[in-house]
Structure 1
Amino acid sequence: MDKLIGNAKIVGLGESTHGSSEIYKMKNRISRYLISNSDFNIFSLEANMPESFRMNNYITEKKDNPKDLLEGMYFWLWQTKETLDFIDWLKNYNDAYNSRIIFDGFDMQFASGALNQIRDIYTQNNINVDEINELEKILKDENRGQRSYTAKSQKTIGNLLVKMKQKNVSFKSPEDKARYLQNIRIIEQKIQINSIVKRDQFMAENINWIMENNKNPKLILSAHNYHISKLNSERMGYYVNEEFKNDYVNFGFAFYEGTYSASVDRKIGTFEAETAPPESLEYYLNYLNKPIFIIDLKSIKKENNPLAKWILKDILFRKTGSGTDKNKKSFKSTNVSNSFDYLIFINESSNSNLLKQYN
């Protein structure tokens, strides 16, 4: 692993679905190695930033319940035994080595966590919270994502956020002040999301913030393959790569067949994944008859071996995500070699283990 990572300070770990147990276990294994052996000190997830940061109450301060904190991160994706096992490992590692490995997020699809943390600062400073209540009413933050706000609403929200930035507030530390201002920025981002592309740009911005606001940062990013991809300007990984260049290394993941946890037609549970079709990358890799292996795409590109040229071209590649639309194609033409530095192939996927049952 050391030879693959080199001196990189950011390692992106992808996933071809949001619900494959073997992929999460491998990502956890790589993360444990990087933390234990290569001084990586931050783990950041494709989840809402303020709510994710609260997990440090458990792993560094031994407060709160990790299951409750995971549920507070909204999506079922993280409410799994695989995620909980890794969080418990982080806590135990911090306890055993008197370390402070930080847990964070870089998404901004919800504003309520940021609002609650800002409200706490107001309360600590005996500041009236009426403007926070007003902002909360305007945001109507019951739903995620690419929600449009009128120009009038955006102006009103912007004025309230400017007031929050200018408040005479006392903080326990410079870090608390930076987090307060970043929570305001999360709300600014939230009201501007109008596409998946904009969301990826903001996620990259938040990764920059994490790197700038932590001491000697070495960061593990966990997100879908298509977010960590270096391929084009629609993806978070593209902007991370532009900013950090050789300091960013990423691993894509792929599998041939099996099951996965997903949300289909608003039903959350276990579903059969589409078996990799002929002409897909996973179909060809399955012929190697190995249960799991890693492909060094960087070396293949450098060597320009004619026997490997097929892997350097656009090819069908799994893009399932959380399975929210059963009519959406599971495979998409992708230049995998330009998307990732390394690809980890797993022959068979099984569903991640959800912490609770859904109807």
Structure 2
Amino acid sequence: MTKGKRNKMLLSLSIALTSFIAFNGNANAAVAAPRIAEQTSLEQGSEVKQARTSNEALQDWKNWVDDHAYSLNSIQPESFESKIASNKFEDLEMLKPLLHDKRIVFLGESSHGVAEFSLAKTRIIQFLHQEMGYNVLAFESGMGNVMNAQGKIDKQSAQQTMKDGIFGVWWSKETLPLFEYTKKTQSTEQPLMLAGFDIQQQGAFTDGGWLENNQLAKQFSEVENQLVDWTYSKDLKGYQKAKPSIIDVYKQVKSQIPLKEKELKAAYPSEPHITKLMERTLADRIRLAEEYVELSIQSNVDIEQNKYDSFFKTMEWRDQGMLENLLWLAEEIYPTEKFIVWAHNDHIRKAQSEVMGSPYALNLMGERLPDIYKKYSYVLGLYMASGENASNARETWSVLPPVKGSTEDILSSTKKPYTFIDLRNRQNERGNSWMFEPRISYSWGVIQESFVPRDQFDGILLIDKVSIPNYIE
């Protein structure tokens, strides 16, 4: 009998046995049929596919990234007078279908001390504002401080607005173009409005001149300084004695808001929501005095004994406050506007508590975001592959080389200076399985973390080489 006739006979027998099982329920035949089919397959010369090696998998992933990633032409902010020509943003057009139904775009960063992150985010903000109607920019900075900066934006320089509004970690020549752009948009039909959502203290947010009460304004200034000092203290009992008088001053100032609405509007003419924002900021100060400062003092005591639970509580308290403020801005102040949020990756990641190796593997703001907001948000994480970055204290250190198989290593395969990849709109397949399983990445360029990229971000922008900011004192 020839091989061909034998195979035909085996195949016919397999079909016959399968039919017999269907009509007679013969369990033995149910086992026999697959075995005969398997034997037929082997006799026909088919090969059993071997699992790929880690090197083969890595090459598959890099090949896929080469085919699916986008390269940005530039991260330099566009010059602006009244309008930026749309063709200046051709390399960002791929964002339009990804964001067309998204109300909030979160722009993260793995370090606050990277010049290129501020440049790239500024250019993306210009695109989102001008081309897609995102008219509110919310910073990981004090609500009252940014309120103050927005309220006086037409009265002062862009640099002063930057310094009044945001934390000093971003006071740089690379961030300044954003505030120059924002200032110029105020005279257009589509101004970019600045907002802050951080609840923690960031220095005095108002001079109190609008109170027209020198004694109360002086008391207000004093308690602002006292609150900072107590936050770094270890004297819990001392604070508990001082606390009622501090809270009383804040309540007195807050009670003046409805009586001084005209004066507030005159002091902050470019902030149309000044009364609501002032009330909210002072309510936050009262919450800080009532709850946060004691947590912070306990944290200061515990850290000396290498105990960190109380410190983690202060972080989660802060992030809960930031979330509440962001949602309040979105629902009460700008209910019909689309938002851009500027913050560290840790605050905006969608499952920060699941990040292995992070010193802050906690339930932070992004993870606490209500599901409806997650549905209509897009979280973009920024990472770096080489160069230098700075700590919040402006200490400089080198970015560690990417670990083989890390997110940075995989995205670096494009050999482009600025690589963007969308994660959200992907199904798990051979070439992109890397984004559906734990990968190594570096926070601050030196802290090794492991997380599932697609569980944390909707997209990633990798900047190949970075440098420290040119800080403005």
TM-score when scaled to structure 1? Answer: 0.82
What is the percent sequence identity of the aligned residues? 23
* 1:226 alignment counterpart: 346
2:207 counterpart of 1:107: no
Cα distance between partner residues in 1 of 2:397 and 2:131:
37
Q: How does 1:119-198 map to 2 (within 5 A)?
A: 119-123=208-212, 128-129=216-217, 132=220, 135-136=223-224, 138-139=226-227, 141-142=228-229, 150-167=239-256, 169-172=259-262, 175-191=273-289, 192-193=291-292, 194=295, 195-198=314-317
Correspondence 1:284-299 to 2 at 5 A = 284-299=410-425
The structure 2 residue matched to 1:313, chosen from 413, 432, 437, is 437
Aligned partner of residue 252 in structure 1, secondary structure: strand
Any idea what SS the aligned residue of 1:227 has?
A: helix
CA contact (8 A) 1:203 1:236 kept: yes
- Provide closer, same or farther for how the CA distance between residues 225 and 55 of structure 1 changes in structure 2, counting only shifts above 3 A: same
C-alpha root-mean-square deviation of aligned residues, in Å? 2.9
Q: Compare CA radii of gyration and give the structure with the larger one.
A: 2
Higher normalized helix content (fraction of residues): 2
* 2:156 corresponds to: 64
Greater strand share, structure number: 1
Corresponding residue SS for 2:336: coil
SS in structure 1 opposite 2:386?
Answer: strand
- Which residue does the alignment assign to 2:304? none
Match of 1:326 in 2: none
Q: 1:88 matched to which residue of 2?
A: 180
Distance of 2:233 and 2:372 partners within structure 1: 25
Residue 18 of structure 1, CA deviation: 0.9
Tell me what 1:202 maps to: 321
Counterpart of 1:324 in structure 2 is: none
Q: Could you report, residue by residue, the CA deviation over 1:1-27 in whole angstroms, capped at 9, with x for unpaired residues?
A: 111112211110001111222222221
| Aligned partner (choices 113, 118, 142) of residue 24 of structure 1 | 118
1:220, 1:293 → 2: CA distance?
Answer: 21
The 1:136–1:295 alpha-carbon spacing in structure 2 relative to 1, beyond 3 Å, is closer
* TM-score for both structures, normalised by structure 2: 0.64
Q: Which has the higher relative contact order, 1 or 2, with Cα contacts under 8 A spaced 6 or more apart?
A: 1
Closer/same/farther in 2, CA of residues 176 and 347 from structure 1, 3 Å limit: closer
Partners of 1:44 and 1:147 lie apart in 2 by: 33
Cα gap change, 1:165 to 1:73, in 2 (>3 Å): closer
Cα 1:57–1:84 change in 2 (3 A) is farther
Which consecutive residues of structure 2, in runs of 5 or more, have no partner in the other structure? 1-94, 266-271, 296-313, 353-361
Q: What one-letter code is carried by the residue in structure 2 that aligns with 1:176?
A: I
Instruction: Report the Cα distance in structure 1 between the residues aligned to 2:235 and 2:158, rounded to whole angstroms.
Output: 33
State whether structure 2 residue 384 is matched by structure 1 residue 255: yes
